Amino acid sequence: MYVPNFDKYALSDGASTRSVKGRDILSYGIESIKSLYDLFEGARKKRAARGGYTTHAEQDLLRSMLVFSAATLDSVVKQVIRDQIPQIAKLPVTAQEEFRQYIVRHLSKGPQVNVDSLAASLAGADPRAHFIDAYVADLTGDSLQSKAQLLRAAAATGVNLGLQKADHDQLDKLFAARNQIIHELDYLTAKQKKKQRNRRNRGRDEVIKWSERLLGLAATFLKS
């Protein structure tokens, strides 16, 4: 049976970080996930569970672990964006190029561009600040629910995630699971049902490893 170590992803108070608030968010997330894990293990111990069978209540605890882990990553990434993008000139050249490309795309919208808003920003004391605010809003406007969004956030902040082929496959699977839980409650349609289960069954070890992976990514965004 796989035994997790969620605490290894926490950053100490004295550690260098891209975002102090983000570091605190990660700590809160880890504590919540540990509590859910303890509840899950406690429930199985109470009924002297053996093997891989889990009750509906235990499945909900596993689902909650994955959702909280994804929410922790989402919140950390957005905080790093809010703290780092205003200092775009200090970020890697690749991140600055992402910002430039954003401005190009924005100005290329043609008739869709709000002319009055654009004129006001260009005539203001700090036109760059206007585009930075718009860029931050664009990057943080939606919940983080796909690998593509994660990669875009990393590129925008100059974070090297160091992903390998296997990592890409894992991220696709875990984000798919995250979305199935949040948007569908893991409910199975008549065509998807297996045996008597009405909802997808999540494996203990897989969910725990996915949760650790999400916390690890959050820590990577924070480490400077």
Q: Closest Cα to residue 47, out of 35, 37, 55?
A: 55
Question: Does pLDDT of 48 surpass 90?
Answer: no
Instruction: Identify the band that residue 26 occupies on the pLDDT scale cut at 50, 70 and 90.
Output: very high
Q: 10 Å Cβ neighbour count for 129?
A: 12
109 vs 217: which has the higher pLDDT: 217
Least trusted range by pLDDT, from 2-16, 34-48, 97-111: 97-111
Question: What distance in Å separates the CA atoms of residue 51 and residue 41, rounded to the nearest whole number?
Answer: 13
Residue 209: per-residue pLDDT = 97
pLDDT at 112 over 90: no
Quote the pLDDT of residue 104.
Answer: 85
Whole-prediction pTM value?
A: 0.90
